[in-house]
Amino acid sequence: MDIGKRYFAIMPASSFEGLDGEVVFFEEKRLKIEVLPKPQINTTVENLPEHFKGKDWYAVKNLITGNRHWLHSKNYQISEICSSEL
């Protein structure tokens, strides 16, 4: 993914068996995001943790809510948003 571009990010529904044998289910999650530059420091004025510097982590802005957060790209199916889909 490239800084400044916008993408659909879809995390497929999934489930697993819990400790007591119950099925834990997560519904599909769909996001529209814009990739932001990774910050060098976080809001507590500490260096960025090493794992966030990895190639699979992206600083993103949710285009629906306006919230900014981290996204681990291995958990999502990613496709670029065409200008006609904005």
pLDDT digits (tens, 9 = 90+) for 41-67: 656 657 777 888 888 999 999 999 999
pTM (2 d.p.): 0.58
Average pLDDT, the chain: 86
Confidence (pLDDT) at 41 = 60
Q: Within 13 Å of residue 19, how many CA atoms lie on the same side as its CB?
A: 0
Confidence (pLDDT) at 45 = 59
Q: Which of 31, 30, 48, 28 is nearest to 39 (CA)?
A: 48
The pLDDT confidence band at residue 18, using thresholds 50, 70 and 90, is confident
Look up residue 52 and give its two tokens. 């966030």
Q: Domains of the chain: which residue ranges? A: 6-15+22-85
Give the three-state DSSP class for 65: coil
